[in-house]
Amino acid sequence: MQIEVWSDVVCPWCFIGKRRLETALERFPHRDQVEVIWRSFQLDPTIPEGETHPTLPALAAKYGRSVDEMRAMQGQVEQVAAGEGLDYHLADGVSGNTTLAHELLHLAAEHDLQGAMKERLLHAHFEEARSVFDVDALVALGVEVGLDEAEIRAALTDRRYRTAVQQDAATAQALGANGVPFFVVDRKYGAAGAQPAELLLQVLERAWADEHPLITVPAADGCEGDNCAV
């Protein structure tokens, strides 16, 4: 069984969704026969590469809310994250273009380290306040999971995975993904948003049994609207 997950490394609901998927897989009796692939999706590809800005005021302006209102909304997401064992500090977050981070994930996939790289990027951004937007920062994180420093620098300099990132985004659009996380099982079953682990487990069980030709469950909370930090 193959699970493809479209997500961004600066999407708070994507880290929550990752934890819920892991919980579902722990309960899934055929988990040893499941392959998880992390697909690229950028919440805001319009941010110029190399530029960063504080997330909180940008979100407040984007959604026409006051900074205090947006801080309160982020606090609600932090509580949900805490329920999954995550320690968010969203009000202090920084946003930027995540193309390079996604390119690094494609490199990691070639070394069977994509899952570890995805976890490291999310943990760095949401729980350590570390940058995931520039080459030097990404090299350091990649080395931590076992990638070669010189290979990372070469890949992020010659941009060999840029087309793969763009192709992931195009596939997401073709599959009808308007937000993330977006889970697709064997290209037959879809689940949008950070679905509860129980529901994700049901999707896995149905896909394994292949009871239906196509199932798309109703969307849950995800990065498409006021409850997301980009």
What pLDDT digit, counting tens, does each position of 60-88 carry? 999 999 999 999 999 999 999 999 999 99
Residue 46 lies in a domain: yes
Of 106 and 225, more confident? 106
**pLDDT of res. 216:** 52
Whether 6 shows a pLDDT value over 70: the answer reads yes
For 173-202, the pLDDT digits (tens) are 999 998 899 999 999 999 999 999 999 999
Residue 125 lies in a domain: yes
Number of domains in the chain: 1
| Pairwise CA distance, residues 50 & 100, whole Å | 10
**pLDDT of res. 218:** 60
Residues in the chain: 230
- The DSSP annotation for the chain comes to -EEEEEE-TT-HHHHHHHHHHHHHHHH-TTGGG-EEEEEE--S-TTSPTT-EEEHHHHHHHHHT--HHHHHHHHHHHHHHHHHTT----GGG-EEE--HHHHHHHHHHHHTT-HHHHHHHHHHHHHHS----SSHHHHHHHHHHTT--HHHHHHHHHHTTTHHHHHHHHHHHHHTT--SB-EEEETTTEEEESS--HHHHHHHHHHHHHT-SS-EEEPP-S-BSSTT---
CATH number at residue 104: 3.40.30.10
- The DSSP annotation for 62-117 comes to HHT--HHHHHHHHHHHHHHHHHTT----GGG-EEE--HHHHHHHHHHHHTT-HHHH
**pLDDT of res. 224:** 58
Q: Work out the average pLDDT over 90-109.
A: 97
Residue 68 lies in a domain: yes
Residue 158 lies in a domain: yes
Closest CA to 18 of 99, 92, 85: 85
Residue 16 lies in a domain: yes
Q: Which two tokens stand for residue 152?
A: 């990372």
Residue 226 lies in a domain: no
Closest CA to 138 of 92, 112, 106: 106
**pLDDT of res. 26:** 98
Residue 222 lies in a domain: no
Instruction: Using pLDDT thresholds of 50, 70 and 90, give the confidence band for residue 225.
Output: very low
Query: What pTM did the predictor assign?
Result: 0.91
Could you tell me the residue range of the domain that residue 110 belongs to?
Answer: 2-217
Residue 96 lies in a domain: yes
